Chain A
Amino acid sequence: MISLNHYLILSGILFAIGTAGVFLRRNVITILLSIEIMLNAVNLTFVAVGRYLNTVDGQIITFFVMTVAAAEAAVGLALVIALFRHRETLSPDAFTALKW
């Protein structure tokens, strides 16, 4: 029998994969993709807990998370394009002008 715990553990693993992507990759686009993985892991938690509590709120907050993710992707990719135009690279190591 599949319980809420199964869904929570799956979502925890997916979230950890997303953080690993942010830690390990040296490409701004892949880092944005890893952030999408993390957002989806959280969405899975919301829907599973909503199912467990027998309420529709989990799906509604998932809807809002998807909207925010779409806005984040649009602005993030516009930033990536602007950065690439300036430095001709996508490595985050190239963008350290604000680093002390």
Chain B
Amino acid sequence: MFEFIAFYAFAAIAIIASLLVIGQRNPMYSVILLIVSFGALAGLYVLLDAPFTAVTQIIIYAGAIMVLFLFVVMLLNVPREEAIASRLGARARRTGAVLSLVFTLEIVWALTRLSVMPVSSGGGGSIGSVARIGTALFTTHAFAFEATSLLILVAMVGAVVLARKEHH
């Protein structure tokens, strides 16, 4: 029963916050609301017996990535989106809204046709144990893990090069 209430509460928070993210004109509010949505997702990960993922969700997403977004929003100091005055503003907007609604209905329709697959609840933390994740990460997936460090290095150099001021 608790799981039932918690799932629907977190799901409602995630959906409403995400809708508000794309409904805001001010990117500052969008970023803050997205942090709320990520917090709700972390709660869902706890319900799914994945505490490690929940903690990394908070630390990496809400803590690191969103702070990066906040810095850029503050740095560029463009609080508001310009009013839509472009060539095919209204029509493109309407088409986009219809397409995304169709996409939502399509996904929900496809998924409700599946037979019910129960997720066993409260399995004693066997899946969620950090030791099991660490073992798999450093043995089976060791190559991918090392490749990730290279990816981070490339991204770091790329970000510095792209955002650098050009002197000439």
Contacts and interface: CB of A to CB of B under 8 A. Distances in A.
A87 to B, nearest CB: 11
Interface string A1-24: 111111111101111111111011
Given A2-B119, A51-B50, A63-B53, A9 B22 contact: no
B11 A33 contact: no
Contacts of B47: 2
B15 A16 contact: no
A20 B84 contact: no
Interface residues of A, number: 72
A68 B156 CA distance: 12
Contacts of A19: 100, 103
A57 B138 CA distance: 12
Interface residues of B, number: 84
Interface in A2-58: 2-10, 12-21, 23-27, 29-30, 32-34, 36-37, 40, 43-44, 47-48, 50-52, 54-58
A66 B61 contact: yes
B4 A30 contact: no
A19 to B, nearest CB: 5
A75 B100 contact: no
Interface of A: 1-10, 12-21, 23-27, 29-30, 32-34, 36-37, 40, 43-44, 47-48, 50-52, 54-60, 62-64, 66-75, 77-82, 84-85, 89-91, 93
Given A64-B148, A70-B155, 13 more contacts: A3-B116, A5-B116, A12-B111, A13-B15, A14-B18, A17-B15, A24-B100, A34-B22, A36-B65, A47-B53, A51-B119, A63-B53, A78-B159
